[in-house]
Amino acid sequence: MSQTNASSTPPPKMSRIERIGKKIPDPVVIFMALFVITAVVSVMMGGYTFSSIGADGAPVEYSIKNMMSAQSVRWIFDNAILQNWLAFGNGVLGMILISVLGVGIAEESGLLGTLIKKAGSHINERFLPLLLVFLGIMSSVASDAGYLILVPLAGMLYAGIGKNPLIGMVAAFAGVSAGFSANLVPATPIDAIMGSNAQLFAETQGVPFTDAAGKPLNAPTMNYFFLAASVFVLGIVGAWVTKRFVTPRLEKMSYTIPEDMDLSDFKVKPEEDKGLKMAGLGAIIALLGIVGLSMGPLASFTNDQGRVITPYMNSMILLIVLFFIITGVFYGVSVGRYKSVSCVVKAMVKQMNTMGYILVLTFFSYQFLALLGASGLGTYITYLGASGLQALGLDSVPVLLLIGFILVTSTINLLVGGLTSKWMLLGPIFIPMLYQVNPAMTPDLISAAFRIADSSTNIITPMMSYAGVILAFLRKYKPELTIGNQISIMMPYSIAFILVWTAMLVVFFSFNIPLGF
């Protein structure tokens, strides 16, 4: 039997947001409906054209494609399984599945449970929210590892110390997603993408690629000072929101511990201590192997186009999974959990058996997102947002124009996911436009504003690629949870992050503090 924990205190009355959220259908149903709606709208608007500024400053014409024409229907069916599902978002589904295999081996061996018991006895509970939000923010350097590894582990950690696991999971989720752009590590892949494109947008349209002091910008690190400071600010804000709003609410909510998760004995046994030492040996071997790969076959190199390629960063998820597999096997063999290779195989199969909902969800959500992109409607929504911001007429108040840019972009983010695609449409418009309003509104400032807007509302939109995956993780402890509940829980983080982060950028702008180097 599974264990159920419930407070004797009556559950609090539902907020208006939560009451509305209860009426929101399951995400799978939402994406089914959105697919149909998008197809119908594409028929109604098929052939409609609009133009926007391209990266080189020249007008680029876009058109809405009728996705119910014979050719488009053939495209839907030809790409439904491979491109629009399995390969969508550079293989997001594959990363999800391979992460489950690796973490599953470590979990089934008992290693994660033992580590959580150790952590629970050594980490002061007061600092857990700060630690989880901080780790979530920093996890962006490892691509999507935070979503797939840190969030489930945070739930197990809280369950292990007798607290509602949802508290730890949403704190980690807030850090991973709402604080996505911040990091202490300079020149991450997303920094390179944002910076190189900002330089292209600026230089091809006659905007100096310099900071407010007139110094040339270094594309990958032009926002580093601001983003590094943001790690600590958002970590503190996220921890405060967790303690002030989330914990009091979720402490009164019942939850269920899966029957295969034994948390009854929270004392580390001698054989488990021995297993940890063997896992430590496995960790050293795994790290040496990862370093060897990073310096050998996966080392950085310059391609024929002069671009620096970093294979080890592109393979970060796989390398992390390799680490979990090796340490998990070393621990499992030591404690007698893994007596043969077939035991390891069974552990992977057991974990994969829990992925049914995620497979169904991603099939329909990725079909919709692919249709939104192919039809041109996603680009049109972004275009409307940009046009609306241009029409505000805030030329005489640059700070308000900057805030307006953040608010409009964050609203667009609720409807259209994908940082790069939005930046490719909004960047060429607003980098030259805002510079003309005030030369102090430099490319690095606009880039920082965009990153605030794109990150802060990730946690309250079902359009984000991992929204449904996080819901599936939460349902492990609260099966009746809905996407509306998830949005309601995450709303305080989103509001606090966008307010504080925007105010922080305004301070940098107003006092001419360098955003990077």
Domain boundaries, the chain: 18-38+77-510
Range from 224-238, 296-310, 314-328, 382-396 carrying the lowest mean pLDDT = 382-396
Q: Which pLDDT score, from 0 to 100, does residue 3 have?
A: 53
Least confident of 68-72, 341-345, 443-447, 460-464: 460-464
Q: Stretch 84-109: mean pLDDT, rounded?
A: 82
- The answer to whether residue 7 scores a pLDDT higher than 50 is no
Res. 266 pLDDT band, cuts 50 70 90: low
Identify the weakest region by mean pLDDT among 72-86, 160-174, 243-257, 307-321: 307-321
For the stretch 337-368, pLDDT in tens is 999 999 999 988 887 887 788 888 889 988 98
Angle (nearest 5°) at CA 156 between 455 and 180: 10
Top-confidence residue, 471 or 16: 471
pLDDT above 60: residue 83: yes
What's the pLDDT tens digit per position in 136-182?
898 876 656 688 878 988 998 898 888 999 999 999 999 999 888 89
Average pLDDT (451-465) is 90
**Two structure tokens written together for 411:** 């609203």
Instruction: Say yes or no to pLDDT of 513 above 60.
Output: yes
pLDDT at 143: 59
pLDDT level of residue 14 (50, 70, 90 thresholds)? low
Tell me what pLDDT residue 40 has: 97
Query: From CA 313, how far away is CA 141, in angstroms rounded?
Result: 8
pTM listed for this prediction: 0.75
> Is the Cβ–Cβ distance between 157 and 128 less than 8 Å?
yes
Crossing angle for the helix pair 111-122 and 270-295, to the nearest 10 degrees: 100
Residue 162, burial from CB neighbour count under 10 angstroms (0-12, 13-18, 19+)? exposed
Distance, in Å, from the CA atom of 329 to the CA atom of 310, rounded to the nearest integer, reads: 29
> To the nearest 10°, the Cα dihedral for 360, 363, 367, 369?
90
Pairwise CA distance, residues 339 & 345, whole Å: 11
Does pLDDT of 8 surpass 70? no
> Environment class of residue 129 by beta-carbon count within 10 Å: exposed (0-12), middle (13-18) or buried (19+)?
buried
Q: Residue 101 above 70 pLDDT?
A: yes
Predicted pLDDT at 468: 86
Give whole-number Cα distances, 47 to 33, 66, 328, 450, in Å: 23, 7, 55, 30
Q: Is the pLDDT of residue 18 over 60?
A: no
Q: Is the pLDDT of residue 254 over 70?
A: yes
Contact in structure between 251 and 7 (CB atoms under 8 Å) = yes
Query: Above 80 in pLDDT, residue 103?
Result: no
Give the pLDDT confidence score for residue 67 in this predicted structure.
Answer: 96
Of 335 and 417, more confident = 335
Neighbours of 190 (CB within 10 A): 20
